[in-house]
């Protein structure tokens, strides 16, 4: 029987093997389902772990562990393997025969079933390993974190000194002190970043940057230091407990603590900072505006940060202003140097003001900057002895109440309207925004500066004429109206219905609470009601069909300062206007008024009176103007009235005189129309009037031979404020004596003429007083000459660097614009700002200039009935990116001569047939 036992054992083992294989095969489908479920659970665990990692790392203070990373990789591998096994298993099941009960290949089915069973066990084990208590650890802070910083100017020696103390084991605390904006923070950032450049070596393990500021506290400093060290300081923990946590970390490190902008002593012990000494070789460096704080901080070295030397300051200022602004006008560099000197070497002022002035390209803006820096410095107080005035200048340039008020005022104009800068500035002066200047030109300079500031802030945009107009974006205008009405709480503070098609004025009930009302650019014909507006300061009614203002209309407007009735059909000024005792601005231009009534003399506060372009104004009674003693601006340009008396003579029948104008002590700007030679002679003999005249219109002066009328008179060159010179219907005029004065070694026109209008002057010739000037008429931008038949050329135009519009009509004798070859034409960039050329009825004109010019700003050329002009001064490099139109007859275009066909083809797309 002994042989039977082994046989039974063998049979038993065989049976077990067969049974197991049978189970692998028969239980394959069930095991596949279990494996799929187990893998799903494993993936859920994997997703939970990933979410925990994302939360931890999202705090930017944690990093997931390597162990977790390894487990995630194993799960990814397992997922791929399970997918393959499950696919193989279901393939085996689909291949069964005998109704699905018998595998086609028992061996293959067995192997797959065995793999499924093992993988099921492996998935369970891997899932158990994913039970992590922590998936991430707190990041170790970097030894140094880079700080954004501008390049230092003039601080190399200072930095070298400070760095020397940082390498001195006997110096633990260093204080950097100086006025605000002198560059202390910049120097501290350079120190921080130098550790990054050089590496921390073995001496320093941690560099810590903390901004303290005036409002800071010990707990705030602890919080910033704790975050830098990666400590989770508890908000509800006591100050001492937080200090211990910080101390325990820093006691085992060498550190450099950089404290910026300290206003008072920071108790390092209360914060938890170990005292820096030669043993731990740690350092504390801080900045402050007070030397006394350095003492209270126990600084072993106190270093005063000085302002920049002149050459350093000038280099920094030029860098911030930029070449565009500095090169915008020949006199700007000298003014820029003056502005830079006002900054007294303070870097923040040089940078801030330099950036502000980078957009200022007119002399007015630069002169205003100088005035404000000098005028306002004594009024500033606060931070340091010199910092606040400079910082306030930059702040005021962008955000002060005056600029905000001027911005809101722009909302009184209609949508999309291009606003004349000068008109806008005069409103501001009338409102009192630009008070405080004895010189009207300086008030205007301030106005231009404010406009530039608003443009820079994108609150105003350039108009079509960038030099003369601005406009307001519709949305910005809406914003301004919303702000003006205190964000909707007082909707009637500004009543603005400009260019909305009104034929009647709004009911006076809507006027009651208003401070400013604008009904301009409508079709209002009458004002039928009497308003009561105790707070009204501005009333704009211009550009309406207004014929009548009823008596009593002005009786209840006691605060009104600005009244504009221009561009209306008014024939008479209501007598009740004398009730406007606070009125400072009155515009009656382009109306139908026939006389200035004597009642105007009661407007004792009136500073601005505009009666220009009034074709019916025939009478100005004696002493009406002179009695308005505070007048600063009087404009009678292009009015019909021009028969001025020479001397003041009382009595009936006598009108206003030139002498009366001299009695106006505060007069700064004058526009005048003169019709008689005697009055013109008296005008030029005046010591005052020519110097403050902006607009001079001379017309219908019979027997006038020359301007000025006599050699002993002042010349146009002495009229420093002259902007418009208009001469009409003076048929005997032969000489326009634009004298030249020698200055700085060069002949130059001394006139600041901006527009020269010469019409109907058949005998006019321009008298030159010597060699051609290098620069003349610096501000001349518009030239129109009409009916000047004896003129042969306009060569003097080569010295007009800012000329923008050139229009010549009916000049039968002109043969050339710039005669011959003048070397300075190219040297001075002649016509570099010229935008428009219009020639009409110039039968002898042969040439503009004999060589091609770049014309970098040229937009349009129009030529009509000028058949001898066969060549334009253009080449393939002329008017690039600016030209839009060349207009004339087809015959004229076909006969034009070009250097080659390529140039002609270049300009052919811009040609348009004339419609004249």
Domains annotated on the chain, with CATH = 12-138 (no CATH), 156-304 (3.40.50.300), 310-472 (no CATH), 777-916 (no CATH)
Residue range 1-28: mean pLDDT, rounded: 53
Residues contacting residue 239 through CB under 8 Å, at least 6 positions apart: 218, 219, 222, 270
Among 249-258, 431-440, 751-760, the range scoring the smallest mean pLDDT is 751-760
pLDDT for position 25:
60
Mean pLDDT calculated for residue range 127-136: 71
- Eight-state DSSP code of residue 135: S
860-864/885-888 β-pairing? parallel
Average pLDDT over residues 792-796: 73
User: In terms of Cα–Cα distance, which of 848, 854, 858, 857 is closest to 826?
Assistant: 854
Q: Is the peptide bond before 678 cis (omega within 30 degrees of 0)?
A: no
Report pLDDT digits (tens) over 687-741: 899 888 888 887 877 777 776 777 656 555 566 777 777 777 767 666 554 444 3
pLDDT for 787 equals 76
Mean pLDDT value of segment 485-496: 68
- Exposure string (b/e) for 757-769, b if CB count within 10 Å is 16 or more? bbbbbbbbebeee
In the structure, what pLDDT confidence band is assigned to residue 59 with cuts at 50, 70 and 90? low
The pLDDT, as a whole number, for residue 911 is: 93
Inter-helix orientation angle 239-250/218-229, to 10°: 40
**What value does the mean pLDDT take over residues 848-871?**
91
Q: How confident is the model at residue 776 (pLDDT cuts 50, 70, 90)?
A: very low
Kind plus residue range of the DSSP H or E element containing 160? helix 156-166
The mean per-residue pLDDT over the stretch 575-585 comes to 90
464-473, 502-511, 720-729 — which one is most confidently predicted on average? 502-511
Residues 178, 387: Cα–Cα separation, whole Å = 10
pLDDT, average across residues 415-430: 89
Mean pLDDT of 250-258: 87
- On the question of pLDDT at 747 being above 50, the answer is no
Q: What is the mean pLDDT of residues 170-176?
A: 90
Element (H, E) at 755: strand 755-759
Helices vs strands, H then E, count in the chain: 26, 32
């Amino acid at each position: 029987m002994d042989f039977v036992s082994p046989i039974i054992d063998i049979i038993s083992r065989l049976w077990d093997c067969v049974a197991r294989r049978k189970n692998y095969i028969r239980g394959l489908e069930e095991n596949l389902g279990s494996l799929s479920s187990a893998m799903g659970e494993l993936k859920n665990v994997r997703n939970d772990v990933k979410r925990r990692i994302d939360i931890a790392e999202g705090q930017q203070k944690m990093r997931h562990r390597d162990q977790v990373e390894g487990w995630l990789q194993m799960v990814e591998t397992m997922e791929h393997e399970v997918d393959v096994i499950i696919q193989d298993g279901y393939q085996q099941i689909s291949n069964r025969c005998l109704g699905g009960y018998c595998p086609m290949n028992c061996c293959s089915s067995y192997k797959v079933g065995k793999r499924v069973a093992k993988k099921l066990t492996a998935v369970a084990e891997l899932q158990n390993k994913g039970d992590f208590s922590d998936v991430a650890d707190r990041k170790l802070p970097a030894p140094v974190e880079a700080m954004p910083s501008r390049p230092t100017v003039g601080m190399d020696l200072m930095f070298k000194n400070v760095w020397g103390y940082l390498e001195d084991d006997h110096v633990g605390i260093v204080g950097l002190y100086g006025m605000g904006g002198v560059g202390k923070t910049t120097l501290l950032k350079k120190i921080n970043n130098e550790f990054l450049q050089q590496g921390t070596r073995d001496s320093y393990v941690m560099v810590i940057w903390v901004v303290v500021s005036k409002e800071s506290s010990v707990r705030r400093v602890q919080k910033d230091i704790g975050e830098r060290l990666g400590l989770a300081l508890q908000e509800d923990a006591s100050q001492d407990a937080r200090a211990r946590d910080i101390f325990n970390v820093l006691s085992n490190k060498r550190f450099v603590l950089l404290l910026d902008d300290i206003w008072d002593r920071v108790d390092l012990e209360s914060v938890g900072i170990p005292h820096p000494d030669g043993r731990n070789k740690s350092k504390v460096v801080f900045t402050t505006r007070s030397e006394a704080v350095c003492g209270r901080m126990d600084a072993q070295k106190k270093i005063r940060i000085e302002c920049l030397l002149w050459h350093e300051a000038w280099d920094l200022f030029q860098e911030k202003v930029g070449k565009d602004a500095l090169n915008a006008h020949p006199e700007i560099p000298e003014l820029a140097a003056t502005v830079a000197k006002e900054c007294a070497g303070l870097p923040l002022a040089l940078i801030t003001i330099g950036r502000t002035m980078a957009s200022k390209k007119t002399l007015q803006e630069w002169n205003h900057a100088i005035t404000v820096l000098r005028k306002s410095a004594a009024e500033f107080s606060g931070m340091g002895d010199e910092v606040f005035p400079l910082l306030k200048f930059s702040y005021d340039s962008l955000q002060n109440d005056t600029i905000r008020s001027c911005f809101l005022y722009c909302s009184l104009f209609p949508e999309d309207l291009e606003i004349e800068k000068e008109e806008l500035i005069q409103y501001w002066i009338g409102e009192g925004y630009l008070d405080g200047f004895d010189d009207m030109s300086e008030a205007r300079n301030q106005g231009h500066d404010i406009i530039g500031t608003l443009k820079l802030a994108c609150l105003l945009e350039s108009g079509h004429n960038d030099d003369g107009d601005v406009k307001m974006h519709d949305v910005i205008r809406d914003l301004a109206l919303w702000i003006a009405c205190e964000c909707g709480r007082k909707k009637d503070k500004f009543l603005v219905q400009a260019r909305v098609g009104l034929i009647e004025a709004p009911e006076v009930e809507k006027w009651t609470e208003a401070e400013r009302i604008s009904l301009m650019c409508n079709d209002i014909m009458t004002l039928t009601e009497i308003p009561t507006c105790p707070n009204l300061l501005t009333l704009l009614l211009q550009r309406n069909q207004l014929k009548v203002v009823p008596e009593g209309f002005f009786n209840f407007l006691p605060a009104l300062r600005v009244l504009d009735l221009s561009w209306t059909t008014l024939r008479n000024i209501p007598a009740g206007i004398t009730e406007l005792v606070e009125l400072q601005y009155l515009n009656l231009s382009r109306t139908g008024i026939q006389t200035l009534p004597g009642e105007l003399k009661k407007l004792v506060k009136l500073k601005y009176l505009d009666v220009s372009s009034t074709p019916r104004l025939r009478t100005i009674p004696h002493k009406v103007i002179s009695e308005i003693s505070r007048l600063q601006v009087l404009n009678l340009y292009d009015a019909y009235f021009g028969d001025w008396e020479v001397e003041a003579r009382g009595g009936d029948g006598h009108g206003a005189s030139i002498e009366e104008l001299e009695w106006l002590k505060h007069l700064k700007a004058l526009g005048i129309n003169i019709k008689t030679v005697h009055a013109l002679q008296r005008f030029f003999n005046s010591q005052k009037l020519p110097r403050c005249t902006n607009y001079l219109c001379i017309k219908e002066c019979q027997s006038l031979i020359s301007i000025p009328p006599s050699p002993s008179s002042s010349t146009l060159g002495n009229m420093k404020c002259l902007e418009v010179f208009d001469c009409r219907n003076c048929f005997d005029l032969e000489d326009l004596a634009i004298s030249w004065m020698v200055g700085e070694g060069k002949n130059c026109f001394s006139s600041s003429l901006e527009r020269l209008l010469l019409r109907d002057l058949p005998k006019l010739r321009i008298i030159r007083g010597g060699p051609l000037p290098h620069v003349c008429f610096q501000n001349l931008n518009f030239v129109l000459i009409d009916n000047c038949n004896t003129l042969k050329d306009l060569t003097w135009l080569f010295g007009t660097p800012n000329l923008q519009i050139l229009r010549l009509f009916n000049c039968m004798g002109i043969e050339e614009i710039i005669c011959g070859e003048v070397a300075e034409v190219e040297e001075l960039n002649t016509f570099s700002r010229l935008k428009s050329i219009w020639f009409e009825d110039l039968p002898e004109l042969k040439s503009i200039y004999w060589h091609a010019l770049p014309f970098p700003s040229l937009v349009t050329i129009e030529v009509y009935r000028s058949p001898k002009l066969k060549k334009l001064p253009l080449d393939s490099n002329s008017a690039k990116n600016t030209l839009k139109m060349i207009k004339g007859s087809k015959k004229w275009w076909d006969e034009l001569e070009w250097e080659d066909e390529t140039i002609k083809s270049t300009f052919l797309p811009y040609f348009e047939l004339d419609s004249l």
